[in-house]
Amino acid sequence: MIEQPAKQRKNLFVNDVSRPIYHFLPPANWMNDPNGLIQWNGQYHLFYQYNPTGANHANMHWGHAVSDDLVHWQDLPVALAPTSGSVDEGGIFSGCTIDNNGTPTIFYTGVSIGYDTQVQCMATSQDDLLTWQKYSDNPLIGTVPTVAKQTREFRDPFVWKEGEMWYMVVGSQIADRGGVVFLYQSPDLINWDYLHPLYAAPETDPGAVWECPNFFKLDDKWVLIISHNSHDVTTRVHYFVGTYENLQFTPENHGIFDHAYLYAPLTIQDDKGRRLLWGWIREGRTEEAYVAAGWSGVQCVPRVLSLDENNHLLSEPVHEIETIRKNGQHFSDIVLAEKTDITARGLNLDISAEIECGTEGQLTILLASSEDGSTRTVIQYDTASQHLTLNTEKSSKSGSDHRKNYVIEHLLAADERLELRILLDGSVIELIANKRTSITGRIYPTNPDDNFLRVYGNDIILRHMSIYEMPSIWSYEIG
């Protein structure tokens, strides 16, 4: 058990209102994918892609943090670093941790300098996950299956056990086809046999790579989550829900897990039986801007996954985050009009709302707005077109490339209310509608006074709305 000290971080970013205060991010520098999630002695361990020397994607290590409650985190020493002259000298890329009969065991991708060779490696810990020893005979898997017709894109092992056998999926690319997930099997975690593609891009999609696969049982279905890297604006997290029999996966439904900045998620099942997901919230500003800021990358608030009767993958923030809510304002049964009915202030908020929409209903929520509304982030729902919008085109006066307008179809059944959950945290907005449409956006507020929230609409009844202030999850060293 790792004790949590009362004071843990130096506050290096006191006046940076863009930096989230209740989402996890390292004390400074670059972070991307969540890695190696595991619950050990009841505590949640989060590893993550980390550059200890700067806020750019380079020099990949595994950073490490631990939490008793999924809300507050203690920083721990870097868990894995590249070893020069070895198969991971170019970086320790993403992977997972499993419990091998009492031995914590990491599977990760070791890359060469320049990333042209990507191989699957192992490391174990003898001191409850604090320090790690790399397997002396790495790599475990050193070549891409020939069906890939390429030798470079091969990473992010995800391992699980069924009966007496271990299985691994690895993200890759078939050169003339698109993304693929390869399936392996092992009796002992050391010797791995390649079986076949678990699933490949259903339509030709050359150039795309499927990264960070997750494959797990949820209720009586199997879910495959992949991060579809198309090297352009269509880079998104996709999911497939289906059946898995005789080592064959047959998808029955496909969806987009998040329509904007959430990427490379990793899941685990915790001791409460919940399937939890963390995902990297990418930056929406230029490399120059985030390097200058000194930090880059945020984890989403962990989400609990479930399925509905239509095989949609649903997600909602873990209820633990509600324990830090403060100063709640509650509104019920309000018929909204064009003039603002509700005003609140704050750049770190947790908002939930349940809304009845008339046939011509239009709901507008302004966030991070200046008093005159010239700076604003806009969330809208339009009943006639059944579209949900997150518009960040006027979100701040900072020079950045986050200025986007996401207009995403969100169908409601005839008697279904619109349910919104909005986690605003400085530059992060997690917007989730009816648990099934997720748009994670970035805004970069520069003026702490541009923090008005306004709600208005027409042909809309706000059945319920709660707005909470959210405090920092960190205790900072004094001085």
Catalytic residue IDs: 33
Main-chain dihedrals φ then ψ at residue 453, nearest 5 degrees: -115, 130
- Binders of ligand DQQ among residues 222 to 281 (CB under 6 A) are 227, 263-264
Supply the DSSP symbol for 288: H
For ligand DQQ, what does the binding mask look like between residues 423 and 452, x meaning CB under 6 A? ------------------------------
Contact string (CB under 6 A) for ligand DQQ, positions 77-116, x = contact = ----------------xx--------------x-------
State the nearest-atom distance from the C-beta of 226 to ligand DQQ, in Å: 10
**Cβ distance to ligand DQQ smaller for residue 224 or 264:** 264
Specify the 3-state DSSP secondary structure of 130: coil
Map residues 109-148 to x or -, x wherever contact with ligand DQQ holds by CB under 6 A: x---------------------------------------
Touching ligand DQQ, residues 339-378 (CB under 6 A): none
CB of 161: closest distance to ligand DQQ in angstroms?
Answer: 23
CB of residue 94 vs ligand DQQ: minimum separation in angstroms? 4
Could you tell me the maximum CA-CA distance found in the chain, to the nearest angstrom? 68
In sequence order, what DSSP letters do the residues of 147-186 get, joined into one string?
GG--SS-EEEEEEEEETTEEEEEEEEEETTTEEEEEEEEE
Q: What is the total residue count of the chain?
A: 479
Which contiguous run of DSSP H or E holds residue 305?
strand 303-307
The residue among 284 and 445 lying less far from ligand DQQ, judged by its C-beta, is: 284
Out of 19, 30, 45, 49, the residue judged to bind ligand DQQ by CB under 6 A: 49
Are 307 and 239 contacting, i.e. CB atoms less than 8 angstroms apart? no
Task: Name every residue whose Cβ is closer than 8 Å to that of residue 102 and which is 6 or more positions away in sequence.
Answer: none
CB 122 within 8 A of CB 138: yes
Query: Is the CB of 32 or the CB of 400 nearer to ligand DQQ?
Result: 32
CB of 83 to ligand DQQ, least distance (A): 17
For ligand DQQ, which is the closer residue by CB, 106 or 355?
A: 106
Residue of closest CB approach to ligand DQQ: 93
Is the CB of residue 173 less than 8 Å from the CB of residue 150? yes
The enclosing H or E element of 277 equals: strand 275-281
Rounded Cα distance, 32 and 212, in Å: 12
How many Cβ atoms sit within 10 Å of the Cβ of residue 413?
7
SS (H, E, C) 9-53: ECCCCCCCCCCCCCCCCCCCEEEEEEEEEEEECCEEEEEEEEECC
Residue closer to ligand DQQ by CB (options 237, 351) is 237
Question: Quick one: which of 25, 29, 33, 157 contacts ligand DQQ (CB under 6 A)?
Answer: 33
Q: How far is the CB of 466 from ligand DQQ (least distance, A)?
A: 34
Q: In the 8-state DSSP scheme, what is residue 476?
A: B
CA-nearest of 269, 324, 332, 434 to 22 is 324
Nearer to ligand DQQ, 287 or 449 (CB): 287
Residues 6+ apart with CB under 8 A from 77: 64, 130, 131
Rounded CA separation 296/313 (Å): 28
Taking the complex as a whole, how short is the minimal distance between the CB of residue 30 and ligand DQQ, in angstroms?
9
Minimum CB separation from ligand DQQ for residue 171, in Å?
Answer: 6
**Helix, strand, or coil here: 227?**
strand
Residue 49 or 383 with smaller CB distance to ligand DQQ: 49
Q: Which of residues 109 and 434 has its CB atom nearest to ligand DQQ in the complex?
A: 109
CB 124, CB 133: distance < 8 Å: yes
Q: How many residues bind ligand DQQ (CB under 6 A)?
A: 14
Member of 211, 382, 419, 450 binding ligand DQQ (CB under 6 A): 211
The helix (run of H) or strand (run of E) holding residue 454 is strand 452-469
CB of 194 to ligand DQQ, least distance (A): 19
Paired tokens of 38: 């595991």
Least distance from ligand DQQ to the Cβ atom of residue 100, Å? 22
Q: Does 289 bind ligand DQQ (CB under 6 A)?
A: no
Is residue 156 part of the contact set for ligand DQQ (CB under 6 A)?
Answer: yes
Name the region of 409 (left: φ>0; alpha: ψ -120 to 50; beta: rest).
beta
60 interacts with ligand DQQ by CB under 6 A: yes
Sheet holding 178-186, edge to edge: 154-162, 165-174, 178-186, 193-200
Q: 86 vs 253, which CB is nearer to ligand DQQ?
A: 86
Residues that bind ligand DQQ (CB under 6 A): 32-33, 49, 60, 93-94, 109, 155-156, 211-212, 227, 263-264
